[in-house]
Structure 1
Amino acid sequence: MRLSPATLGRLAAEVVRPAYDWQTQRAGIVHFGIGAFARAHLAAYTDATMAAGDRDWRITGVSLRSGDVAAQLNPQAGLYTLTARSGEASRTRLIGSVGRVIVAPQDPQAVIAAVAHPDTCIVSLTVTEKGYVRAADGSLDCGNTALAADLEGEGSPRTIYGFLAAGLARRRAAGLPGLTLLSCDNLADNGCQLAALMTAYLDRTDPALSDWFARECRCPSTMVDRIVPAMTDADRSWVAGHIGMADAGAILTEAFTQWVIEDDFAGPRPRWEAVGVQFVPDVRAHEAAKLRMLNGAHSALAYLGLERGHDFVHQAVADPAIRPLIEQIMREEAAATLDPASGIDTATYADRLLERFANSALSHRLLQIAMDGTQKIPQRWLEPLAINQAAGRMCPATLEALAAWCRHVRGDVRSVDDPQAATLAALWQTHGPEGMASALFGEGGQFAATWKASPGALAALSQRLA
């Protein structure tokens, strides 16, 4: 028996139901990248907001590539369970805030229509760092095949920019107001970056629409935080036993959750503040702490842990050869780059992060974190390295993690899931361990725009690669 509106009467009694009539709510949000994180974070907050009395904020999900999430949720009318686990405790909610899921390659016009719909006020995104199609310097990667096709207007849109531009053009033509574009991805200044990239796209394709976008739309920056491992067959079996039926869209997550949003919206929004969301004038301090301390430590655990044969975060953080490096990255090297005026208690934050990493009730795979490293390490490691280097501080623990990443991308131990995997493997073939550090981080190196390593740092990294 599978979760659906027809089977809700047989759902286990301990599952908390939505405290609102989810079937009568209209959609006010279109979300690109309706994966596990969005359903554990944005959708959970929005569900709670509607339970608190807000109306018409259901979410239309968009999958840009795979039809997997649509196959999970559409037969269930968008319903799924969200279970927060910590130790032996667990709490399961039925989430009613997601309506339908559109698979963009299968029905691109439905995506455009959803963006252009009069009820839509917000388009949110969790498309991962590579979904923004950026070049090494942060600009639009116009050499990307999909983006180049969108820029030339070849066929249906393939990127977020193509879909957003088409939807915004319809809104402008219909005399509808602009939208709030809400990035929920781990990018520094994610709202500013989205606004700049969207503007660059529109400047090339429709300058008049670019002017309208600047006047009518807003792109607030955000900081999102919740650990959401990829689901396994064992997880789904556990959920089925727990709720009394199969749930193809089930999500397991931690109890902790945080969302900080710049208070700059183009129009109406849910009253997320009523359910714990922080609205602030500037999210940069929160964002920097999370990217450098949490995400930076996560990436270090991934590459160092995989090298030592671990599969999960809780295993890696318990390894006495790894734990001191993680603590040093968080408590010293990353913390030193944060603005003391922010008021963030970095020692307490690090303590809490270590507790979260050690949660063995969540099987958070290191390989999941290790994906797309070229899109992640600039903001997680390289920016802190540059800040520390300018202040005359060395970062030996971060360099250990960086060396582990360099060895990982050789690709001779396990396959590398990264958009630049072939390029990195070719660099290894050309430069070998002696020259790889310079090829990546020296003068003219691939990542030198973010961190051009000093001679001492290059020597220290090269020594670790020898």
Structure 2
Amino acid sequence: MTTRLSHAVLPRLPASVKVPGYARSTVTAGIVHLGIGAFHRAHQAVYTDDILVDDPTWGIVAASLRNPATRDALEPQDGLYTLSIRSDEGERLRVIGSVLQVIVAPEALEDLIRIMSDPATRIVSLTVTEKGYCYDPATGALNEAHPEIVHDLSHPSLPRSAPGLIVEALRRRRSAGIPPFAVMSCDNLPANGRTVKRVLSRYAEMLDRDLGAFVREHVACPSTMVDRIVPATTDEDRERISRLLGATDAWPVMTEPFTQWVIEDDFPQGRPAWENAGAQFVSDVEPFEHMKLRLLNGSHSTLAYLGYLAGYETVADTMADPAFERLIQGLMDEEVTPTLHLPPGTDLQSYKQALVTRFKNPALRHRTAQIAMDGSQKLPQRLLGTVRDRLAKDEPIRRLALGVAAWMRYVTGRDERGEPIDVRDPMAERLRRTADEAGPEPRDIAQGLLGIGEIFGDDLPQNQAFTNAVTSALDTLFRKGAQATVRETTLSSF
């Protein structure tokens, strides 16, 4: 198939494929988005696509901070790509047009900073994953020894990190008398707006005290909660969708019908009317963030590590095992829910039921190995915050501890059959070395990994209830395997 998805082929696409309902020639950029991965293209870019009919001043200039692959895929397609919404009822296709340009930062750094410094840019948003913020997940503070931060402090006009890039653009705007853009994180960080403000302010302060005060006092960093499951696109996905379109799409995006976006309404230079596309603007995102991080993401990570170890390729495969479904239901109902404090009227039971349905969606093919990536950055937010709340009230953490232990078993780098695990994590070498040096005994492995302060802080390794629960779970995983451990856990009384 030689025809490539582009403006020219939109009129020839099948009638069942939804296409942009606005003239893209009229759209101008108002948002710069850092980290154009699949999630952004299935979530924020879709909400933005929905509102461009009424306000074409909010197009997106997206940036990849590392890899040119997305640019290389979308540039020949005029920035267009297909969104595939999949469920057991079938597949719906939609072409998204809100991404006007993709820049690869290392190749065109000055162009990117110039666009970020333009008065038309009123929002800079991010999906760079937890590790992209160069912060300490255990404390939420800037990791001042991070190699990219060290580089950027020495070369502030040639930044490599997301914080360095944002602060350099803010510095230039300040010098030119241009009001600062709002910085909107759409990543799974605790209180992501406050975390980003803390990281940016500290980095700016290390460059210049006055600049640090300016960022702290004048740059809005609204918190958000985002929710949509977005599996990695496979070659089979590309072939199927290109066949359905009658045109080649080099990088379509797969997702589920469910989508949620809760946003703190703090945008001094204006914002898109995302509420018209289904977003919810609130004064305090934190209760919704805890709900999502602890119920969805905590359950997802637990399923990923245990499911992978049990030999299950996808979340749906894992949830098809009744013992795993019982484990996750118990985790959500008995260990997570009591730690949540939601606004009146929030239907938490329906949300949890929807999660189970989403996890069991066989059409998504969300691989356990994909969710297992970057666990050292994810664990503090997804599981350990809940653990701390439970321990503070002397409440049991057996299922939570099993999730932590499964991560420990996973990062040793060998599965239950002795085959190597491709552990993709910024701390992968250190984790593997720590486990190897600890020796073969689960108790020693647990003690070694618990000593990594960037993950567990200073408090959890000193908490006997936590260390005993994790050590016991890890010992059982080594002796009996993940599948038997899960079944034993769900049949035991708590």
Normalising by the smaller structure, the TM-score range is over 0.9
Task: Name the CA distance, whole Å, in 2 between partners of 1:398 and 1:346.
Answer: 20
Task: Name the CA distance, whole Å, in 1 between partners of 2:429 and 2:79.
Answer: 38
Q: Aligned-pair distance for 1:187?
A: 0.8
Q: Aligned-pair distance for 1:430?
A: 2.6
- Counterpart contact for 1:382–1:450, Cα < 8 Å: no
Match of 2:379 among 368, 374, 377: 377
Q: Which segments of structure 1 move beyond 4 Å, counting only runs of 4 or more?
A: 340-343, 442-446
Match of 2:443 among 434, 444, 449: 434
Correspondence for 1:112: 113
Task: Name the CA distance, whole Å, in 2 between partners of 1:278 and 1:406.
Answer: 37
Q: Aligned-pair distance for 1:267?
A: 1.2
Task: Name the CA distance, whole Å, in 1 between partners of 2:452 and 2:110.
Answer: 46
Task: Name the CA distance, whole Å, in 1 between partners of 2:451 and 2:217.
Answer: 41
- Counterpart contact for 1:441–1:453, Cα < 8 Å: no
Matched, 1:422 2:423: no
Q: What SS does the corresponding residue of 1:82 show, helix, strand or coil? A: strand
Q: What does the per-residue CA deviation read over 1:371-411, in whole Å, with 9 as the maximum and x for residues that have no partner?
A: 00010011111110110011111111111221111000001
Q: 1:80-95 alignment to 2 at 5 Å?
A: 80-95=81-96
Q: What SS does the corresponding residue of 1:322 show, helix, strand or coil? A: helix
Q: Aligned-pair distance for 1:90?
A: 2.3
Correspondence for 1:72: 73
Task: Name the CA distance, whole Å, in 1 between partners of 2:459 and 2:50.
Answer: 39
Q: How high is the TM-score relative to the length of structure 2? A: 0.91
Q: How many positions carry a matched residue from both structures?
A: 465
Specify whether residues 155 and 54 from structure 1 end up closer, same or farther in structure 2 by C-alpha distance, changes over 3 A only: closer
Larger CA deviation: 83-92 vs 237-246? 83-92
Task: Name the CA distance, whole Å, in 1 between partners of 2:224 and 2:259.
Answer: 14
Match of 1:367 among 355, 366, 369: 369
Task: Name the CA distance, whole Å, in 2 between partners of 1:55 and 1:391.
Answer: 51
Specify whether residues 345 and 439 from structure 1 end up closer, same or farther in structure 2 by C-alpha distance, changes over 3 A only: farther
Specify whether residues 266 and 341 from structure 1 end up closer, same or farther in structure 2 by C-alpha distance, changes over 3 A only: closer
Q: Aligned-pair distance for 1:370?
A: 0.2
Q: What does the per-residue CA deviation read over 1:222-278, in whole Å, with 9 as the maximum and x for residues that have no partner?
A: 000001111000011111122111111311110110000011112110011111110
Correspondence for 2:196: 194
- Counterpart contact for 1:442–1:458, Cα < 8 Å: no
Correspondence for 1:269: 271
Q: 1:252-331 alignment to 2 at 5 Å?
A: 252-331=254-333
Task: Name the CA distance, whole Å, in 1 between partners of 2:276 and 2:141.
Answer: 37
Q: What SS does the corresponding residue of 1:265 show, helix, strand or coil? A: coil
- Counterpart contact for 1:443–1:452, Cα < 8 Å: no
Task: Name the CA distance, whole Å, in 2 between partners of 1:139 and 1:47.
Answer: 34
Task: Name the CA distance, whole Å, in 1 between partners of 2:208 and 2:17.
Answer: 49
Task: Name the CA distance, whole Å, in 2 between partners of 1:349 and 1:457.
Answer: 28
Larger CA deviation: 31-40 vs 167-176? 167-176
- Counterpart contact for 2:293–2:381, Cα < 8 Å: yes
Specify whether residues 236 and 181 from structure 1 end up closer, same or farther in structure 2 by C-alpha distance, changes over 3 A only: same
Task: Name the CA distance, whole Å, in 1 between partners of 2:443 and 2:383.
Answer: 22
Q: What does the per-residue CA deviation read over 1:322-375, in whole Å, with 9 as the maximum and x for residues that have no partner?
A: 221111111111111111655433322211100011111111111110000010
Q: 1:24-423 alignment to 2 at 5 Å?
A: 24-51=26-53, 53-135=54-136, 136-153=138-155, 156-339=158-341, 343-413=345-415, 414-423=421-430
Q: Aligned-pair distance for 1:169?
A: 1.6
Q: What does the per-residue CA deviation read over 1:160-217, in whole Å, with 9 as the maximum and x for residues that have no partner?
A: 1221122112211221111110000001100000000000000001222223323432
Task: Name the CA distance, whole Å, in 1 between partners of 2:120 and 2:389.
Answer: 44
Instruction: Say what the alpha-carbon RMSD is for the aligned residues.
Output: 1.7
Task: Name the CA distance, whole Å, in 2 between partners of 1:464 and 1:101.
Answer: 46
Correspondence for 1:4: 6
Q: Aligned-pair distance for 1:449?
A: 3.9
Q: Aligned-pair distance for 1:50?
A: 1.1
- Counterpart contact for 1:216–1:266, Cα < 8 Å: no
Q: Aligned-pair distance for 1:317?
A: 1.0
Q: What SS does the corresponding residue of 1:298 show, helix, strand or coil? A: helix
Q: What SS does the corresponding residue of 1:249 show, helix, strand or coil? A: coil
Task: Name the CA distance, whole Å, in 2 between partners of 1:95 and 1:137.
Answer: 38
Q: Aligned-pair distance for 1:83?
A: 1.8
Correspondence for 1:16: 18
Specify whether residues 192 and 449 from structure 1 end up closer, same or farther in structure 2 by C-alpha distance, changes over 3 A only: farther
Larger CA deviation: 428-437 vs 375-384? 428-437
Q: Aligned-pair distance for 1:23?
A: 1.9
Specify whether residues 344 and 108 from structure 1 end up closer, same or farther in structure 2 by C-alpha distance, changes over 3 A only: same
- Counterpart contact for 2:287–2:343, Cα < 8 Å: no
| Code of the aligned partner of 1:111 | L
Gaps of 5+ in 1: none
Specify whether residues 150 and 7 from structure 1 end up closer, same or farther in structure 2 by C-alpha distance, changes over 3 A only: same
Larger CA deviation: 439-448 vs 232-241? 439-448
Task: Name the CA distance, whole Å, in 2 between partners of 1:426 and 1:77.
Answer: 46
Q: Aligned-pair distance for 1:415?
A: 1.8
Matched, 1:451 2:452: no
Task: Name the CA distance, whole Å, in 1 between partners of 2:156 and 2:102.
Answer: 25
- Counterpart contact for 1:385–1:451, Cα < 8 Å: no
Q: Aligned-pair distance for 1:151?
A: 1.1
What's the % identity of the aligned pairs? Answer: 45
Q: What does the per-residue CA deviation read over 1:52-77, in whole Å, with 9 as the maximum and x for residues that have no partner?
A: x1121110000000000001111111
Q: Aligned-pair distance for 1:442?
A: 6.6
| Code of the aligned partner of 2:397 | C
- Counterpart contact for 2:402–2:474, Cα < 8 Å: no
Task: Name the CA distance, whole Å, in 2 between partners of 1:402 and 1:198.
Answer: 30
Task: Name the CA distance, whole Å, in 2 between partners of 1:39 and 1:76.
Answer: 14
- Counterpart contact for 1:239–1:247, Cα < 8 Å: yes
Task: Name the CA distance, whole Å, in 2 between partners of 1:197 and 1:231.
Answer: 32
Q: What SS does the corresponding residue of 2:432 show, helix, strand or coil? A: helix
Matched, 1:460 2:444: no
